Amino acid sequence: MPLVYLAVAALAIGFEQLVQWKYGPMGIVAFLALSIGIKAKNTMIGGIGAVILVMLLAH
């Protein structure tokens, strides 16, 4: 079980670094807002993060 948590954490950190490298600080802000929104079950914060990510991807 701890190996699964370690693998998930490594994937999350890798994805975060990829977003930061490709989309800069605004990508990190969007990713954090989306993550916080999902964990807190707050649709407004998660939606804002998702919209920002979609806008960055559409650019």
Residue 29 pLDDT > 80, yes or no? yes
Alpha helices in 1-59 (DSSP H): 2-40, 43-58
Contact 31, 13 (CB under 8 A): no
Instruction: Label residue 51 by pLDDT band (50, 70, 90).
Output: very high
Residue 11 pLDDT > 80, yes or no? yes
- CA–chain centroid gap for 57, Å, is 13
| Mean pLDDT within 41-51 | 92
What is the structure's pLDDT at 1? Answer: 62
pTM: 0.67
Residue 30 pLDDT > 70, yes or no? yes
